[in-house]
Amino acid sequence: MFSAKIQHPRPSQRWSSRPYVHSWHTVIRLSERKLLQNVLNETGGNKADAARRLGIQRRLLYEKMKALGMESSE
């Protein structure tokens, strides 16, 4: 029988070998921000065209931009 005890690292040791670990939410936010920046650059800042390319409503694009701290001048 296998009877080894599993030792979990203390919280201070868990991430010490991985200094750039982000939470799942942070990774999603960074990914969304990068995607929006890329699409807006491709469309020359045309938000209606960017929303069309992303398959979302323009209002949602503005909401995402606001939530991600991106400047939007309507």
Q: Residues 7-38: pLDDT tens digits?
A: 555 555 555 555 566 788 888 999 999 999 99
How far apart, in Å, are the Cα atoms of 20 and each of 16, 26, 35, 38, 49?
A: 10, 12, 21, 23, 35
What is residue 43's predicted lDDT score, i.e. its pLDDT?
97
pLDDT value for 55: 97
Check residue 66 and give its pLDDT: 94
Res. 48 pLDDT band, cuts 50 70 90: very high
Question: What domains appear along the chain, each with residue ranges and CATH number?
Answer: 21-67 (1.10.10)
